[in-house]
Amino acid sequence: VDTIIYGTIAMRQNASSVLKIMETVLYPNIFQYDKWNKSSKQELLGLYHRFMAYLTETANEDCRETKLYLPLRDDTFIDDDAGGQYDKNVIQNLEAVVIHWIKQIKEALSSPEHSISLDSRSNG
């Protein structure tokens, strides 16, 4: 017997609240469902991780922080169906997120509000 979960979330929606809902409600209820076929689940995971990278960036813009989304959850790097080889789809999803990281890092380093201290020694 399948269960249908429905309802209304009564709170002011902003990027941070959507991020929390995506991580705590959507991810566990969608991706831990074992009846997805493999290709559909992989496609949805790729879209989910790309969206979460952008959402993480947006949620942290207001406080002027750069946080990098790390897409490691229950996804596995090893494809058991391919004799223990790395799962190409998971690697492609990670590559897409790393490309987003590069953009975020470049923006943070070029931002006038961002300062970097390369020397941890004090001058005194």
Indicate the Cα dihedral angle 10, 12, 14, 18, nearest 10°.
-10
pLDDT of res. 124 = 43
Q: What are phi and psi of 78, to 5 degrees?
A: -100, 130
pLDDT of res. 103 = 92
C-alpha count within 13 angstroms, C-beta hemisphere, residue 23: 15
For residue 80, which of 123, 38, 51, 47 has the smallest C-alpha distance? 38
Cβ within 8 Å of residue 71, ≥6 positions away:
49, 52, 53, 93, 94, 97
Per-residue pLDDT of the chain (124 residues; tens, 9 = 90+): 467 767 776 667 788 888 888 888 888 877 777 788 888 888 888 888 889 999 999 888 877 788 888 876 555 555 556 555 677 777 888 888 899 999 999 988 887 775 554 444 444 4
